[in-house]
Amino acid sequence: MQLKKLLIGFLFMGAMACNKTVTTIPETPVAPVVDNTTVTKITNTDINTWIHENMTAYYLWPDKMPALAKTNTSSNPMDYFYSILYEYKTTDRFSWIDSSSANLINQLNGINTVLGIRVSAFYTDDAKVNVALVIAYVLKGSPAEKNGLKRGDIILSVDDKTVTSSNYSSVLQNQTLKLGLGAYDNKVFSSTGKTITVTKVELQTNPILQDTVINWAGKKVGYFAYLQFLSSFDDSLRAVFGRFKQKGVNELVIDLRYNGGGYVSSSDLLTNLMVKDLASKVDKVMNKRQYNDAYTKEVIKQYGASALVTNFKMESNNIGSLNRVFFLTSTGTASASELIINNLKPFMNVILIGEHTYGKNVGSFTITDNAKRWNYGLQPITFKILNALDQSDYGSVNGFLPDYALTDDVLPYKLLGDPNETYLNKALNIIGPVAYKASAIGSARPVSRANKLQAASISDNPIQDKLDMFDKPLKPKN
């Protein structure tokens, strides 16, 4: 099949792509195609041939794939997809497939069945057997929020079972959960005796966790915690920066600790909203995409070489005068989150506080069957992004290294946006070391380091732990 025809077969949406663990729903049986008197049975070979054909056309490393004739086209399509990837789990840590394209599209748009929490895991005993799940954030409008849960709350048991080092990563997967709550004081975890029963619902993620302006050392510091780059919330992004601009923000802290990526276009928008002196950069290069050779030739033929480049665009809510920006990062800061850091590095002083980022400088398209013969949705790596200086050197397991290393292990957790919160407080003290008096959102309660498991925070739905950036494939003009 020619590349032009294949392009028409794309359906794009976006969300977080798989990294180390692939989670899919059970495979849906493929229905036969009925044409009056003829019934055509669809085989795995039909599906796998389609997979190979599309991967050959759009995969970033098609020359590293085995030839179709050397593959087992009769195998299960879920297994087949991973069998043809380029050094899966090492070079290609990110491509994935879902047996339901509808499920995939929902994920990419932040629609998942959730309780609405992300947690960090801490050992509660020296033997490292029992574990406390400390809530890192609660989604707006979620069952968790409606039941009064908040950042810093502690879960010691689920469905009357103690959380342990062997079950902590899966204990939140049931539809309805009975949560046994705890407390942390003087470096000791203890049960409060209180339980909450919560049932998951399908929820559209609101990625804006918190935005506020803090008066600090004679500066107006804008703080913004963002979860996922969702294009449906682009206007909300603009509104946040409109408030920052109106209030005269002259220092900026962007909290991307829990942001695993999303739409490239939304990452580019946030770049436009914060870059210094945007007016002088409009129509100049922000970043560049690299596709495989065949797709690159097709794009240039159809649109010209300019289609491989994204330029800065005017945004009226751009703050305008920032000389630097602080990013709060973790090992879960990935893809579109890392892209924005890379976008800004040629133009501003970018300061990273926290842990190294995930290390993903490549993105994906969504591929589904235009003829609707089967339900599979593919999310293969299809492009790499470089900044205006042709830099893209963060695609390793260490990602971007922090300028100031911190671990999110200080308990009790403060609310996001609280000047006493560990990561934000570090940024504030770089901006201007001052003696800060606790306010209504602060607390003089003693804090201490707890024994955190060496793992990124986890959500109550593993689908949300996928990390990706994605873009819409260009279609031919004719």
Q: What is the 3-state secondary structure (H, E, C) of the chain?
A: CCHHHHHHCECCCCCCCCCCCCCCCCCCCCCCEEECCEEECCCHHHHHHHHHHHHHHHCCCHHHCCCHHHCCCCCCHHHHHHHCCCCECCCECCCEEECCHHHHHHHHCCEEEECCEEEEEEECCCCCCEEEEEEEEECCCCHHHHCCCCCCCEEEEECCEECECCCCCCCCCCCEEEEEEEEEECCEEEEEEEEEEEECEEEECCCEEEEEEEEECCEEEEEEEECCECHHHHHHHHHHHHHHHHCCCCEEEEECCCCCEEEHHHHHHHHHHHCCCHHHCECCEEEEEECCHHHHHHHHHHHCHHHHEEEECCCCCCCCCCCEEEEEECCCCCCHHHHHHHHHCCCCEEEEEECCCCCCCEEECCEECCCCCCCCEEECEEEEEEECCCCCCCCCCCCCCCCEECCCCEECCCCCCCCCCHHHHHHHHHHCCCCCCCCCCCCCCCCEECCECCCCCEECCHHHHCCEEECCCCCCCC
- Give the residue numbers spanning the domain of 412: 208-360+387-431
* Tokens at 438, concatenated: 């606790």
Among 152, 186, 204, give the residue marking a domain's end: 204
Residues 85 and 133 in one domain: no
Residues 252 and 303 in one domain: yes
pLDDT in tens, 42-77: 999 999 999 999 999 999 999 999 999 999 999 999
Provide the pairing of β-strand 381-387 with 362-364. antiparallel
Identify whether 252 is part of a domain.
Answer: yes
pLDDT in tens, 131-183: 999 999 999 999 999 999 999 999 999 999 999 999 999 999 999 999 999 99
Residue 23 has pLDDT above 60, yes or no: no
Residue 11 has pLDDT above 50, yes or no: no
Which of the two residues, 445 and 364, has the higher pLDDT score? 364
Q: What is the mean pLDDT of residues 89-108?
A: 90
Q: What pLDDT, on the 0 to 100 scale, is given for residue 107? A: 85
Residues 176 and 248 in one domain: no
The domain tally of the chain equals 3
Identify whether 455 is part of a domain.
Answer: no
Distance between CA 54 and CA 2 in Å, rounded?
A: 10
Distance between CA 144 and CA 407 in Å, rounded?
A: 25
Residues 226 and 355 in one domain: yes
- CA-based nearest residue to 381, from 299, 450, 268, 290: 290
Residue 123 has pLDDT above 90, yes or no: yes
Q: What pLDDT, on the 0 to 100 scale, is given for residue 18? A: 34
Residues 93 and 184 in one domain: no
Q: What pLDDT, on the 0 to 100 scale, is given for residue 450? A: 84
Identify whether 382 is part of a domain.
Answer: no
- Residue position matching structure tokens 């990273």: 352
Residues 50 and 85 in one domain: yes
Residues 188 and 274 in one domain: no
pLDDT, averaged across the chain: 88
Residues 226 and 268 in one domain: yes
Residue 436 has pLDDT above 60, yes or no: no
- CA-based nearest residue to 213, from 202, 200, 204, 222: 222
Contact 458, 137 (CB under 8 A): no
Residues 300 and 236 in one domain: yes
pTM score: 0.88
Contact 309, 288 (CB under 8 A): yes
Distance between CA 242 and CA 248 in Å, rounded?
A: 10
Provide the pairing of β-strand 176-185 with 154-158. antiparallel
CATH code where residue 392 lies: 3.90.226.10
Identify whether 78 is part of a domain.
Answer: yes
Residue 441 has pLDDT above 80, yes or no: no
pLDDT in tens, 370-395: 999 999 999 999 999 999 999 999 99
Cis check for the bond before 412: say yes or no (omega within 30 of 0): yes
Identify whether 370 is part of a domain.
Answer: no
**Cβ atoms within 10 A of the Cβ of 32, count?**
12
CATH code where residue 150 lies: 2.30.42.10
Q: What pLDDT, on the 0 to 100 scale, is given for residue 474? A: 60
Among 181, 204, 227, give the residue marking a domain's end: 204
Residues 177 and 288 in one domain: no
Residue 20 has pLDDT above 50, yes or no: no
Q: What pLDDT, on the 0 to 100 scale, is given for residue 106? A: 87
pLDDT in tens, 198-213: 999 999 999 999 999 9
Identify whether 365 is part of a domain.
Answer: no
Distance between CA 81 and CA 87 in Å, rounded?
A: 12
Q: Which of 1-15, 242-256, 295-309, 423-437 has the lowest mean pLDDT?
A: 1-15
Residues 106 and 118 in one domain: no
Predicted confidence band at 467 (pLDDT cuts at 50, 70, 90)? Answer: low
Residue 193 has pLDDT above 70, yes or no: yes
Q: What pLDDT, on the 0 to 100 scale, is given for residue 475? A: 56
Contact 64, 35 (CB under 8 A): no
Q: What is the mean pLDDT of residues 310-322?
A: 95
Contact 102, 366 (CB under 8 A): no
Identify whether 355 is part of a domain.
Answer: yes
Residues 304 and 356 in one domain: yes
- Residue position matching structure tokens 């041939």: 49
Identify whether 441 is part of a domain.
Answer: no
Residue 261 has pLDDT above 80, yes or no: yes
* Number of residues that make up the chain: 478
